[in-house]
Chains A and B, each alone.
Chain A
Amino acid sequence: SYDLTQPPSMSVSPGQTASITCSGYKLGEKYVRWYQQKPGQSPALVIFHDTKRPSGIPERFSGSNSGDTATLTISGTQALDEADYYCQAWDSNTVVFGGGTKLTVL
């Protein structure tokens, strides 16, 4: 089965840039999506097609994907960005989620 690996946690200071990685074999050959989930809420799509933002998602959210690693970058991180972030890809007609990264803004 295909695996996506994310760091379990990371912290960032307000106003700084957070880069959350997602690693998988030849991940750059697949499309990657990213979801944000705040406590007690359903997940929300923040990046699709590797780099695209759904309407309503702030420009400070961006994505990249190359080689074996996809990255979600949050520029000028705000306190309200504190959440769990999950990467996701399709492989062999199945959907795979990364284990999630808990982003703390402090």
Chain B
Amino acid sequence: DVQLVESGGGLVQPGGSLRLSCAASRFTFSSYAMNWVRQAPGKGLEWVSAISGTGGSTYFADSLKGRFTISRDNSKNTLYLQMNSLRVEDTAIYYCARNSGDSGSGFDYWGQGTLVTVSS
């Protein structure tokens, strides 16, 4: 079955940086757009960013533009999220999720998430 495994979370001070990774397996990674979605403790889901299968197109939540960068390495079947200038309010579980297909499709597979804690 499809597998998505996030890593790279941890404790970071405000203003710091962190790079998250999402290792994908058991599907043709380059054929699918991928997403990052986060969830602050006790809160709802918040979409962060998306990237096309080739990596040629990227999309971001308006509130995060300029601080976060999404990328992928299709040769390594890995999705990345570079997070800079981190703020306390960025504390959340970060999930990677596969976009299952066309514009009407949803996120059909999710990783288990990696916790990012921004605190001094």
Give A residues with C-beta under 8 Å from B: 1, 31, 33, 35, 37, 42-45, 47-50, 54, 84, 86, 88, 90, 93-100
Whether the pair B35, A95 counts as a contact (CB closer than 8 A) is yes
Given the known A-B contacts A93-B59, A94-B61, are A49 and B45 also in contact in the complex, defined by CB atoms under 8 Å?
Answer: no
The residue on B at minimum CB distance from A99 is B44
Q: A33-B106, A35-B107 are in contact. Are A86 and B95 (CB under 8 A)?
A: no
The 6 closest A-B pairs by CB, nearest first: A33-B106, A31-B104, A95-B47, A48-B106, A42-B110, A49-B104
Majority secondary structure, A binding face:
strand
Is there contact, CB below 8 Å, between B107 and A45? yes
Contacting pair A96 B47 (CB below 8 A): yes
Instruction: Report 9 cross-chain contacts, Cβ distance below 8 Å, ordered by A residue.
Output: A31-B104, A37-B45, A44-B110, A86-B44, A90-B103, A94-B61, A95-B37, A97-B44, A99-B44
Bound-state CA distance A43–B110 (Å) is 7
Q: Mark B18-54, 1 if CB is under 8 A from A, else 0.
A: 0000000000000000010100000011110010000
Size of the chain B interface, CB-CB below 8 angstroms: 24
Using A1-B62, A42-B112, A97-B46 as known contacts, say yes or no to A48 and B95 having CB atoms under 8 A apart. no
How far, in angstroms, from A50 to B35 measured CA to CA in the complex? 20
Contact bitstring B86-120, A, C-beta under 8 A = 1, else 0 = 00000000010100100111111011110000000
Cα of A93 to Cα of B105 in the assembled complex, Å = 14
In the complex, which residues of chain A have a beta carbon less than 8 angstroms from the beta carbon of B95?
42-43
Residue contact B112 to A100, C-beta cutoff 8 Å: no
Contacts of B35 in A (CB 8 A): 95
- With A42-B113, A45-B107, A94-B59 already in contact, the answer to whether A35 and B45 are too (CB < 8 A) is yes
Closest Cβ neighbor of A44 among chain B residues: B110
